[in-house]
Structures are given as C-alpha cells and as structure tokens.
Chains A and B, each alone.
Chain A
Amino acid sequence: MKETTNKYLIVALLIGVVFHGTSMFFTLESTYDALIHLFFSDHYANSWFEPWNYEWYTGFTVMSYPPLVHQSIGLLSMMGGLKFGLFSVALISIVLFITGVYRFSLLITSNKTVAGYASILAVFSSSFVETLHVFGQLPSIVGISILMHALPEIYLWLKTGRSRYLATSLSLIAVTVTSHHVTPIFGMVFFVFPLIGMVILDVSRDQVDTLKEVSFKIFLNSFFKLFNRIISFGMASLVIIIGCIFPYWINSKNNPITQVPIPHGSRDNFLEITSSGLMFFLIPWGILLILLPYIFYRYYSKRYLFFGLSITLLTILGTGGTTPIPRMVLGETAFNILTLDRFTLWASIMSLPLLGEFAYRFVEGDLKALIRVRFGAIYHRIIGGILAGLFIFMTVFTMSLGYFRPFQPQKIEMLPIVNFLNQDDHDKWRFLTLGFGDQMAWLSAQTNAMTVDGNYHSARRLPELTTRPIERLENSKFKGVAGIGSLQQFLTTPDKYNLKYIFSNDKFYDPILYFCGWQRLQKLENGIMVWERLNVSPISSILPKDDVAKWQKIVWGIVPFLTVLIAFILNIQMLLVNTLKTRHKKTPEFLKFSNRYSKFSKSILKITHFWSIFLVVIVFYNLYQFYLKNDSQRSPENAIIAYYDALDFKEFEIAYSLIDPTSNISISQYMLETSLSGGLLNSYAKLDAIETIITSRNDSLATVKVIADWITPLEKIRKIDYKSVSKYHKKWYIKSEGLDTDLPPDQLFSNNTTSYFNQGRRRITTEQTHHEDILKQPVLEVLSARLVKYGTHFAIIGEIQNIDNVPADIVLKGTLYDDHNKELATYNAKYHVKHKLFPKESSAFRINFEGIAWSKTQDSIPDTFNPDEFTPVDFKEHPTKFNLQVAGNVSGSDLYKKSVLSQLDINGDIISGNLFNSGIQEITVPQLLISYYDQNKTMLWVDHLFLKEGIRQQRKKGFEYQILKNGKIKIISESMENVFVNGLPNAHISNKIIPNRIENHSSSELQKIKHPDFSYIKIEMNSYIGNLN
C-alpha cells in the first residue's frame, strides 16, 4: 500500500502556523511569563556559561530554571534580537505541539484520520491557546510537545524491544527535561506509566483473540516479559532527567525554596473565586467539559484503563483548592509550590485524541449514524452547529481575554528609561519599578542596571522578600497590606540595597514615596515618573555571588543543545522517511490496535445528553446569579456596592448614574464636585473590602451602613458611612451627600516663596569628584535625641534642625547597641520626620526599629495587617545605647510649608482642630507630627496623623486626633555622645555655627494637655503635594 500524506495534519499545521503565528504578535508580549523568559534569554545571550545574574534580587542563579528554551531564544537573538528569538521559538513550539498531538493521537487511537482530526482540534483547543497566548509558558509547551513525540517511541521500545527506539525515546526525554523540569517528572507519572500499562495490555492482547480474554494472569505474565525493558527504560530516563540538568538539582538542593508560599489562582477554591475558576478550570477544559462522560468512558475501557486512572487523577488535581484532595495527594509543600493549572492542561491534552475521535465519529462515523437514526438528520446538524459554535467561541474568548481584562498595564515605551539609566552613571545604583507588571522583565533585559526586585520569585534571596507572600515589589498594591508593608521596608532603608531610582507608572505609590523621603526627579517622555533618594551610595564594583564549579557551568551551557542535536540526529531519519515517503515503512506496532468505530454506545450518548443538560442548567443558573449580583440597581446593597466600585475605579459616569435623579445634580456638577475632592482617600485608596448592613428599609427608602476598608499606600482606612438609598421607577438610587461649602476670601492672591535650583554639575562631565561643583553638605544639628521604650518596642526620638543657609534633605539612621557594644538593629526614619527642611527649620523625628516582618512565625501572617503597623525587632539583648547618623544633602524640592494650624480644641483625649492651606498649591496628603512632652518639657514620643482628605488653596479642613492612651514611656538613654552629622560629632559642629543656642527656645509654645503621662504636645505640619502647579 502506498503511503499518503495525512492531509488533516497538513491542514492543522498550516492553520496553526497562520493562526497562532499572526496572533502571537499581539498577545505574547502581554502574557504573564513570556517577558520573564525573554529576560533569561538575554542573560544567556550575554553570558552563556556564567549562571550568576546580578540584575535581579541582588543576584540569583539562572540554574534555577531549565535552560533550553532560554538558550534557544538567546541564540536566535544574536540573529535578529530578543523578540525575534522569542517569536521564532514560539513558532517552533506551535509546530511541535501540533505534530506532537498528531503522534500522540495516532498512538492512542491507531487511526490516522482520527489523529488528523485531533491535530486540527488541538490548534484551537482552549487550553493550548490559553497556555500560549495568556500565560506565555513556552518551556511548558515545548516540554509537553516533545514528551508527546517521545510517547510513540517509548511504546515501540517496550513493545518491540529494538534498541533504536530506546535511543530515540531517551533522546526526546532529554530534550523535554532541558526545556521544562516539571513536565518529564509528572509526565512520567501521568503519561508514561499509563502508556506502559497500555503496552502490557497490548502484548497480552496479542496472546489471545479478544481483549476480553486478557486476564490478570496473562497481564502479569506480559508484565514480567516486558519487565527488563520497562526497568531499563525507567532507569535510563531517571539518569537522563537527573543528569541533563544536574546543576539544576544541585542548586535546588543547596537553595531549597524556603519561602512563604505565594498565592496562586490555581490553588483557590474555584467555586468561591470564580475568576480563578474561569482561568484555571473552565477555559482549559473548554468544550471538553461536555465530552467528559465520553472521555472517561473511553479511557476506562480496558485497553486505556491506566490512562483512565491517570486522567482522573489529573482532573482532580486540577481542581485546586475546590476540594481538599489535591492538598492531601500532593502534600502541603508541593501543593503550595506547584501551580496546579498544569494538571488541567495535561488532562486536556490527554483528552485531545478522544476529542478527535469523537469529532470523527460525530462527523463521519458511527455516532453520526446513531444520531441520525435516533433523532434525525436535522438534530445532528443542529447539535453539530452548537458544538462547533461553542468550540470556536471558547477559542475566540480565550484569545481575546486580554482585551476584556488586561493582564498587564499599558505597554510602556522602555527607551527613555534605558536612556535614563545609561545617562550620567545612573546604572551605578539599583532601581525599582512600580506598576510595570511583567514588563519589568523586558526593561531588565534591555539594561545592565540592577534592580532589587525581580520576576522569578523562586529565586528570591532577600529575607525581606522571601518572608512575604508577594511575587514582586513592583505590584505590591495588589498584594494588599503585606505587599505595601514589604515595599515600605525597601523605601525606608534604600541605602541597604543601594536603591536610588524608582520608576513609577502608578501614582498610587506617590504618597508613600514622598513620606519615606523620596523626591521627584523628572517625568520621562513616556510618562514614567522618576523618583530619587539622596544620600545613597553606589553599588560596589565587586558584588558577592554564589559561585559554582566550572564543570557545572560547562554542563549547563552545552548539554541542552547537545540533547537537541542528538535527538535531531536520531530522529531525523525517521522524520524524513515519514514526510518524504521515500520508502515504504513497516506499519508501527501501535497501528495494529485500531478500532473500527462501528457501534457507538447508546448509553453513552444518553449520558452525554443528560450531562449536557446538567451543564446547561448550571451555566444558566450562574448567569442568572451573575445578573442578580451585577444588576446595580436591583437592591440597595447592589446600588451601594456598584457605587463604591465605580468610585474605586474612578468611573464617575457610572457613579453618577446611581445618584438619585430627583436630587437635580447635573453630571457636570457631579464631576466638578468629585474632581475637587482630592486626598489620600479619594485619589490613592483601593477598596479592599466592603460590607453593607441595611439598617432600615421600606418599599422605597433604605438606609445602609457601609463599612468600607480602603487600602492606601500609607495606612489602612476603615470608613463607616450611612447612605440613604431610595427607589425610583423600580430602581434604587443613592442620595447625594452635601459638599463642603467653604468659600475662600480671595479670588486671586499671590505668594512669594524662595525656590532653589541645584545645578548638579555645572561642567558637563561624568567626573565623579569634580570638586568645584560639589556642594557642601548642609549642616544639621540634632537638638535632642533619646532612646525610649514604649510598650514593647524601642525607638529613637528627638528633634533635628537645619542650621545651614540652604535647604536640606535629611536622612536619619539609628543603630542600637547593648551594654557590650554589640550592634542590635539599624533602621532609618520613615514617616516621623519632615524629610525636607528650610534653613533653620526644625522637625521632630522618630526612628522605629522594624524587623523583617513575620520572619519568625512564617505561617501566622496576621489577616488584619495594617501598613502603618510594623513588626518591632525582636531583641534578644536589651538595647542600652544608640548611635544616630544624620546626613544632609542640598535639595530644593518638596519645600511646601504653607499648611497652617488654624484652630485647636482639646476635649478629653481628643484633639480636634483645623488645618488651613495658606499657599498656592493644593495639599494632597496633609500630615501632622505630634510630639509628646513630660512636665519638664522633655520630649518623650512622636506620633503622626495622616488626614484622609486633601486641602485646597485657602480652605480649611478639620482633623481629629486621639491622644495616646497608654503613655508609659521609659527613657533608656539620653546620651548625645554618639550623634553625628555628616560624619562629624554633633556637639562640635553646632558649637561652631550656633555657639550661644537658646536651649528649649520655643518650649513656652508647647500646648498643655491633661494626661496622666504627658503634659505637653507640639503639632508640626508636613504636606505632600500630588500635582505641582
């Protein structure tokens, strides 16, 4: 018989390359993982044999991920750039996948037409589309594709025992393992074990006439017959899996993943978190869900029995946290490290041959006949149309998921950032990106500058990162309070990490940057704001690294490509024979077990019908629930939640549509009012949780108590509102609230201020010590400093003054020592100081000693973490002394001091008052620094208060402050001996400039309070200006 080319496979390849090849240019770059792989590729392109990468996480090793795909992209990038490499490898992976599915299907079904059907359907299968176009997991795709290519070879080795097949199968396993480590390990369990079972059954079948006659005894006999082959294959592949990426295993052993698990959607309960259910269950299964009865029926037939067990396990593991089974099967550790969506992916891929089979039987086989006989031809056509329609819908929906729900921020033009980093030695410091999404990996690939962050969380090394359940600092706002808390540590002590520049693509982080002492440098052409911190030393030119033996580097650099080369040489002959049909080839063993597809089981058809009806009911029920929940005006709760959601996402038009139409507010008036209400809560808050309690309700009116938790970059805000909701034309509307009617006295007013410009270098040179242009560091004086203990935690508090003639940016760094002069802790001042001081201006300060949060109790992260709270250092020894290093640097920015305390009333332990903005900038986030004094006017403590709302020009805003309740503060040390300003002793330097200082000068202006522990307070103002005029 002359062999003909399988036209279905050709069609599948053509469609696949055209469909995926064109669409990937619009999807791949905004997937979750593609850019990370690109970064690794960039690493290999630059230093093929050196596994240490300095750019992320203060250094990590790329031996923590199998290298083949990265190295391939890296190699191709030499030809046409990184992205060329990425797209080329993606194309190759598409071809590999389609052919892989064909060969796997042929192996399973022993029917070329069916395999052809399967390969065409594989092109559009939603799990493949999702893995490629949504997740961008190239290594995973390459891994599973090669594994599918390996399966027929394994079958042939086991069946025929010809060593040629052993060589080809092992060579393909080797390629699999060098592209993705998890695939062959689990692939062994889920694909190869069932395959072995199938071979044994086939061998047993050969001994008897029908499959039914295969008894357990025959099965056991066959098993012993094949035992040597199975063991030799198993041992050899074990050696290959370990050997080919041996450095990876060494690295895993040396640097075990001992970090707090990072939440992943695939571990969620899909019924509770429906978005995860959609992403990790519904989409990958897609139309296969309808065919589940058929798939299970077929895989539980005798020949495929082991595949049946395997797919059952895969299906259950893929359900994540919906059932407790995956956690029990995998164990706690593996459950928290693995992303469980891969099990669903494999299950769906395992189902593809049967999808092809079903399609074949439905389109031209016995199923068609059966349906026609039982239900008629029209029914067959309609069902066919529905199934095809659903299949195409799933593909289109998955493909365009990124359009409906963007996974990434808008594409950022990287060139201005790359240029900035290359300019003037800016890459001598580390940088940090905020709000870049996975595009930060693309930035890292383009620059040599280093970042403290990174995008491959398994490789994190800093305890500040590994103890937090956050992937990146960069998107910490989505990780709630734990994320912000982690970010704050980096922002407060940037000198520890040589972190000087921050590229912010999200103004959410602006207040925290300001209050941690950062200043705005410039806005780049692409709209990215650059923030800088003064007084940070550059990275040392020699950085530590975990070096590995030379042989490891050589193995890592050479073996992956060697495996490809060997696999290519071993398989090419067969490949050529197969494609070119140069000579007649013996039919492979597995084609002997073909099914005639003559009689489709009636009961399965019935069950599938019932199953489909069941699914339809579930879908419609959920749609209805979704409608009820999202119909914003159906109930008072819906109206409130929709309103708050609209405010959270700044969709003011939607918010306006929920406002009571009888209140006669025009949309322009409404928009005007909302645009004027700036501040922490209105501009920088993210809604974390919302609870509505209906306090009263009748047919047309309701009052709702709304408890809303907002996360702001500075602190968590709980706001309780009582909202009135009224029904009007069967819809619920929210009553609008009154406005602040404060009317400023002046229409136009002027304000003179002193502003400064620091030239930096007057001469355009990168000479680092061009001494003429180095400004003297402003002289500061620490007026008082003492180490105090409040409750369980220690702090250095005091007062600092800029005694120079130029404005200063100040950095305060405190260190605690015990009696034996052993250093216990070091930290910088965070919120509790005005970081920018005019000449002769003073500020109270407090330095907290924050530990690396939760490092001790890794598993008990508090649910109610507040970014404003922190974990105090757990001191083993008692701190008794302190050292305070203060550094001043000339800075002309953020010197707005026009916030005025215009009214103050003390009522019991509540201080209320007004702040008045007397200047020409709108204050976005006003802050109060409240210092406490004892009866001798000795400073004891410094506290702060952020006002929730901003203050517009010439307006006032009220505040309320609760005086500390438990105020037992113990002074531990008052010695100013170890206080240094710009490296010089404080006393010495201040005696020179202000020899006759009036001590406690303005202490007569302290506010008296009635309190058992404190006698006086002082209030200072600090303000963050969001939009500089």
Chain B
Amino acid sequence: MQHKFTYIFLLILILSSSFVVVKNSEVALSFTLETTQTAFEAGTTIVLKVATTKEIKPLLYCSNSYGSTLLTPIYENKILSYTFPSNISSKIGVIKWELIHEESSISGEFNIHPKQVVSSMETYIGPPSIEAGGMDYSMLVVIPTDSLDNPLAENTLVKTKYQFLNLEKQDDIYTKNFIAYKNIYSQNKSGRILVSSEALHTNSKEFSITVFPAIPIDFKILASRSHAYADGNQVTTFSTSVLTDVQNNIISDGTFVSFFITNDKGSILNTSGTTINGVATSKMIHPDYGTQWTVKAYVEGIAESNTITLNYSQVVKDFKVEFSETNRGISVGPLQSFMNQMIPDGLEVKLFVYKNNRVLETMTKTSFNGFVDFYLKPDVFKNDTYSIVLKTAGLKKTFNSKILW
C-alpha cells in the first residue's frame, strides 16, 4: 500500500508540472492588418499584409462578384503576405476577405476601381431600322471598357456623334451603372443615320441606323392603254402617283398596292403592283366585251387612291354560226375587231349544250384566225334535240331545238 501513495504522488507531480510548462509558453494568437490601402486600380498587384503573433500560415478566404478562392500566405518576420491572383485583382468591384483561425480571425474588404483609360468601346444599337417621323427611335448603348475589360467608372463622359443628311451632331452622355445610353429619334426624312461614340479620346467604329419612310398617305392613280377597245388582247397599265408618307418621303420600294376593278356586271377584278421610287404599276388585260371599269387602288388599311373610270367599247359587233356534219360541227366566225380585222387569236368562245334547261356540257375554245370550230361527239351527245348557246365577247346566241343525228 505504501507504494500506491508514492505512485499517486508522482503522477500528480508530473501532471501539475506539465501544466506549468504549458502555461509558461502560451502567447495569445492575434492578427493585425498591416495594409492600409483600401482601393486599388485594376490590374495592379495586390498584396495583403497581416501581422501575426505566431508562426502559422492560415489560408485567406476572399471573394468578389466572380467567385471565391483561398489564398496561401508567405510568412516572413511575423508578417503574412497574401498576393491576390490576377483573375481577382483585374476585375473591378468589392473584394471581401476573411482570415479565419480557430483562435482568432480578422476580416475586411477593399475596392478595385477601373483604369481610366479606354481600350475598347462596347457598343450596341438597335433596332437597326426605324421609321421616319420623329416617333420611332433606336437606342445606342455604349460601355467604355479598360484594357482588362472592366467598365469605366461612373459618370465617365461619352460623346455620341451622329450624322443624318446635312446634320452632324454631338451629344454628351455619362455612364451610369457602367453603361451610357441614348435614344436616337428619327427625323422627318428617311435615310441613314451613322452613329459613333467617343470616350476619353477613344472612338468607336461606325454604326448605322436605317430610317425607313413612314406609312403612305392617299394617292392618285391613272391608266394608260393603246386603245379603248375591248379586244381581250391589249394590256392596260395602271400606275399610281408617287406614294409618299406624311413627311413627303417616298415610301419604301416594294410597297404593295392592290388595284380593284369593278365592271358593269358587278364583278370585282384585281391586279397589283409594287412601288419603285414610289410609283406602283400594274397591268390588266382588256376585257373582251364592251364595259365600264371603275378602278381604285389601296394600300390595305393605310391609304387609298381616287377612283377612275375607264370605258371599253365593244369590238365584235356580231358573229355568224354555221352548223355542219349533221349539226355536230359548229363553226363560229368570222370574229372581227374594230377595223374589221380578224380579232387577235385567243378570244374565248364558250359553247353550252342544254337539254331540258340543264347544262350538259360547257366547252371553251379560243379563236384562231377569227374562227372557232366545235364538234359535238356522237358518243357524248346521242342523237337527240338539244339547245345550243354560244357566248363570246359578251354576245350570246341561242339555237333552240337543234337536232343532232
């Protein structure tokens, strides 16, 4: 039992002595920021110095708007030096850092501001085409950037310059939230606006905005034709006056104009044209019977023309019909035009065969040298009595009770 107490005593002695040693060597760990600068220019080397009381190398956590990383220090004479990598030090904005250790920690932040030297002008313009009249606009957005692709500081002056016709103008705008922008309104005239910008003596390249004419206003139409006869062959050309917008700009080439023609019978025909230098032309073949045309042109929903009337006089006054080959062969003609010349080839002649007031067959043929020949095939038309109606050039001839045999 004696020994037991001896051992306990010894153990207590050893334990207590070890505490004494620990207590003697303990120096409190603390970090002190040595670097006082809190703003840096982008691209410079940033070294954060922290004084430490112990020789340890804790990692530094830092983050900017692009991301976060950990930095390893260099220890020298109780000073920890943290060098920020270029991917952090070349981007403007706030960098937050924090040095965390189990016993002590320290944190802070600093700013990186851009170099005030423009290396490129990031420019956007859109839409690339607008309408004349002062209402429509295109927006110019300029972001002057330094060599490290950082936008320049707030309120950097950007001179915008533009040229339109005789006008050359310059406007000063300032960057706000890194961008400078301006709405460029169209003028009354159509054409092309060239735009460029300048910041700190650096110029952008040339940009262009196309100013299209606005929508057309009402216009006039006229017709030209080689004669006023309804020969079903010649072509009448309609054309518009120069179509302009309300500011007197000639409207865009290719604008679609529809021409509606109403004839005596109330049929509505139509033709169309697209403008070239404001004038749209369209063509229409002459009718093959005497009629009156009322013509009006439209740009749908936007503008319209006056109404013009054209008269076409009948050329084929009458025509003869001859039956042959047991009444199955029907020869129509001569079809003669206004000077008694044979009508130009292609005049349509329609033959209707009726039986008990019901159309059995409609045949359409075109004239050749003033004549048209029909033949009623015996397989289609059995031997019987039929009514035969012939129509051409607005004329109609009826032959009732023709016997085919």
Contacts and interface: CB of A to CB of B under 8 A. Distances in A.
B172 interface: no
A998 B255 contact: no
Given A722-B379, A1008-B266, A738 B253 contact: no
Ranked 9 nearest A-B pairs via Cβ: A742-B346, A841-B256, A695-B379, A918-B283, A805-B252, A743-B345, A754-B254, A703-B379, A805-B212
Contact of A1005 (B215, B270, B364): B270
A752 B135 CA distance: 33
A1001 B300 contact: yes
A696 B379 contact: yes
Interface stretch (B120-128, B150-158, B174-182, B316-324): B120-128
Nearest to A773: B128
7 contacts: A696-B379, A703-B380, A745-B235, A805-B213, A993-B215, A998-B304, A1002-B258
B339 interface: no
Given A997-B302, A1001-B301, A897 B256 contact: yes
Contacts of A916: 284-285
Contacts of B216: 840
A752 B129 CA distance: 25
A903 B283 contact: no
B368 interface: yes
Interface in B252-293: 252-258, 260, 262, 265-272, 274-276, 281-285, 287
Contacts of A999: 301
B366 A703 contact: no
A801 B129 contact: no
Contacts of A1001: 298, 300-302, 304
Interface in B64-88: none
B392 interface: no
Contacts of B348: 914, 958
Instruction: Give the one of B251, B276, B379 with max A CB within 10 A.
Output: B379
A839 B379 contact: no
Given A746-B235, A753-B274, A903-B287, A776 B300 contact: no
A150 B62 CA distance: 74
Q: How large is the interface on A (under 10, 10 to 19, 20 to 34, 35 or more residues)?
A: 35 or more
A904 B267 contact: yes
Interface in A474-532: none
B388 to A, nearest CB: 17
Given A897-B272, A901-B269, A1001-B302, 9 more contacts: A724-B377, A740-B366, A745-B234, A776-B129, A840-B216, A900-B285, A901-B270, A906-B267, A1002-B300
Contacts of A772: 128, 207
Interface string A983-1018: 000000000111001110110011110000000000
B233 interface: yes
Nearest to B235: A745
Contacts of B345: 741-743
Nearest to A900: B271
A326 to B, nearest CB: 46
B191 interface: no
Given A897-B256, A1008-B266, A958 B364 contact: yes
Contacts of B284: 900, 902, 916, 918
A928 B379 CA distance: 34
A905 B391 CA distance: 13
A838 B267 contact: no
B251 to A, nearest CB: 8
Max chain A C-beta neighbours (<10 A), residue from B254, B299, B366 = B254
B201 interface: no
B92 to A, nearest CB: 24
A729 interface: no
A806 B131 CA distance: 12
Interface of A: 695-696, 703, 705, 722, 724, 738, 740-743, 745-746, 752-754, 756, 771-772, 774-776, 783, 801, 803, 805-807, 837-842, 895, 897-898, 900-906, 913-914, 916, 918, 954-956, 958, 992-994, 997-999, 1001-1002, 1005-1008, 1019
A904 B300 contact: no
B315 to A, nearest CB: 14
B274 A1002 contact: no
Given A839-B254, A840-B300, A918-B284, A994 B268 contact: no
Interface of B: 124, 126-129, 131, 135-136, 207, 212-213, 215-216, 233-235, 251-258, 260, 262, 265-272, 274-276, 281-285, 287, 296, 298-302, 304, 344-346, 348, 364-368, 377-380
B379 A842 contact: no
B285 A838 contact: no
A754 B272 CA distance: 13
B377 to A, nearest CB: 6
Contact of B256 (A776, A839, A902, A1019): A839
Given A776-B127, A805-B213, A1007-B268, A743 B233 contact: yes
A775 B300 contact: no
Contact of B346 (A743, A746, A895, A918): A743
A738 B366 CA distance: 10
A722 to B, nearest CB: 6
A806 B253 CA distance: 9
A898 to B, nearest CB: 8
Contact of B233 (A745, A776, A994): A745
A692 B394 CA distance: 38
A320 to B, nearest CB: 42
A993 B212 CA distance: 12
A229 B346 CA distance: 91
Contacts of A906: 267
Nearest to A916: B285
A673 to B, nearest CB: 14
A840 B302 contact: yes
A754 B235 contact: no
Contacts of B299: 840
Contacts of A918: 235, 271, 282-285
B131, B285, B345, B365: residue with the most chain A Cβ atoms closer than 10 Å: B285
Contact of A1019 (B270, B274, B302, B344): B270
Given A724-B377, A998-B301, A838 B256 contact: yes
Contacts of A913: 267
Contact of B124 (A771, A841, A993): A771
A703 B377 CA distance: 9
Instruction: Among B260, B302, B378, B380, find the residue whose CB has the most chain A CB atoms closer than 10 A.
Output: B302
A783 B301 CA distance: 9
A897 B301 contact: no
A914 B283 CA distance: 14
Given A840-B299, A1001-B298, A1001-B301, A722 B380 contact: yes
Contacts of B235: 745-746, 918, 954
Contacts of B379: 695-696, 703, 705, 722
A897 B280 CA distance: 13
B300 A842 contact: yes
A53 B136 CA distance: 51
A739 to B, nearest CB: 9
A956 B124 contact: no
Contacts of B267: 903-906, 913, 1007
Contacts of A742: 345-346, 366
Contacts of A998: 301-302, 304
Contact of B274 (A776, A805, A838): A838
B271 A901 contact: yes
A902 B259 CA distance: 12
Contacts of B301: 783, 801, 842, 994, 997-999, 1001
B269 A904 contact: yes
B346 A741 contact: yes
A840 B344 CA distance: 37
A902 B269 CA distance: 6
Contacts of B262: 1005
